[in-house]
Structure 1
Amino acid sequence: MNINCIVVDDEPLAIEKITDYIKRITYLKLQASFDNAIDALEYMRDKKTELVFLDIQMEKFTGIQLLEILRNPPKIVITSAYDKYALKGYELDVTDYLLKPIAFERFLKAVTKVSEEIRAERASKRSATPVTPDKPVSDFIFVKADYHMHKIKFDDILYIEGMKDYLRLHLPKERIMTLMSFMKIEKVLPPEKFMRVHKSYIISLDKIERIERNTVLITDKKIPIGNKYKKDFFDFLEKERIL
Structure 2
Amino acid sequence: MKINCIAIEDEPLALKKIKEYIVQVDYLELLEGFNNAIDAVGYLKENTVDLIFLDVRMKKLSGIQFLEALQNKPKVIITSAYDEYALKGYELDVADYLLKPFTFDRFLKSVDKVYNQLMETNSSSSNGYIFVKTEHRIEKIVINDILFIQGMKDYLQIHTNDRKIMTLQTFKNLLEILPDNDFQRVHNSYIVSISKIENIERNRIRIGKNLIPISDSYKDKFYGILKERKILI
Global fold match (TM > 0.5): yes
Please say which structure displays the higher CA radius of gyration: 1
**2:6 aligned partner, one-letter code:** I
Higher relative contact order, structure no. (Cα contacts within 8 Å, ≥ 6 residues apart): 1
Deviation of the 1:232 alpha carbon: 9.3
1:74-223 matches, within 5 Å, as 74-129=74-129, 140=136, 191-196=165-170
Deviations 1:99-128 (A, max 9, x none): 000111110011001101111111122223
Tell me how far apart the structure 1 counterparts of residues 71 and 135 of structure 2 sit (CA, whole Å). Answer: 34
Tell me how far apart the structure 1 counterparts of residues 86 and 187 of structure 2 sit (CA, whole Å). Answer: 24
Deviation of the 1:129 alpha carbon: 2.4
Q: Which residue of 2 aligns with 1:40?
A: 40
Q: Structure 1 pair 130/33, CA: closer, same or farther in 2 (3 Å)?
A: closer
Tell me how far apart the structure 1 counterparts of residues 92 and 13 of structure 2 sit (CA, whole Å). Answer: 26
SS of residue matched to 2:31: strand
Deviation of the 1:88 alpha carbon: 0.7
SS of residue matched to 2:49: coil
Deviations 1:36-86 (A, max 9, x none): 000011111111111100000000100111111111011100000011111
Tell me how far apart the structure 2 counterparts of residues 196 and 24 of structure 1 sit (CA, whole Å). Answer: 34
- Runs of 4 or more, structure 1, over 3 Å off, are 138-142, 196-199, 231-234
**1:192 aligned partner, one-letter code:** M
SS of residue matched to 2:76: strand
Question: Which structure 1 segments of 5+ residues have no match?
Answer: 132-137, 143-158, 160-189, 200-230
Q: Structure 1 pair 28/139, CA: closer, same or farther in 2 (3 Å)?
A: closer
Tell me how far apart the structure 1 counterparts of residues 17 and 106 of structure 2 sit (CA, whole Å). Answer: 13
Tell me how far apart the structure 1 counterparts of residues 189 and 21 of structure 2 sit (CA, whole Å). Answer: 39
SS of residue matched to 1:84: helix
Q: Which residue of 2 aligns with 1:7?
A: 7
Q: Is the 1:8–1:33 Cα contact (8 Å) retained in structure 2?
A: yes
Using structure 2 for the length normalisation, give the TM-score: 0.60
Deviations 1:160-191 (A, max 9, x none): xxxxxxxxxxxxxxxxxxxxxxxxxxxxxx94
**1:96 aligned partner, one-letter code:** D
- Aligned-residue identity in percent: 45
Please report the RMSD computed on the Cα atoms of aligned residues, expressed in angstroms. Answer: 2.7
Q: Structure 1 pair 195/20, CA: closer, same or farther in 2 (3 Å)?
A: same
Deviation of the 1:198 alpha carbon: 7.0
Q: How many residues align?
A: 154
Tell me how far apart the structure 2 counterparts of residues 140 and 44 of structure 1 sit (CA, whole Å). Answer: 39
Deviation of the 1:197 alpha carbon: 6.6
Using structure 1 for the length normalisation, give the TM-score: 0.57
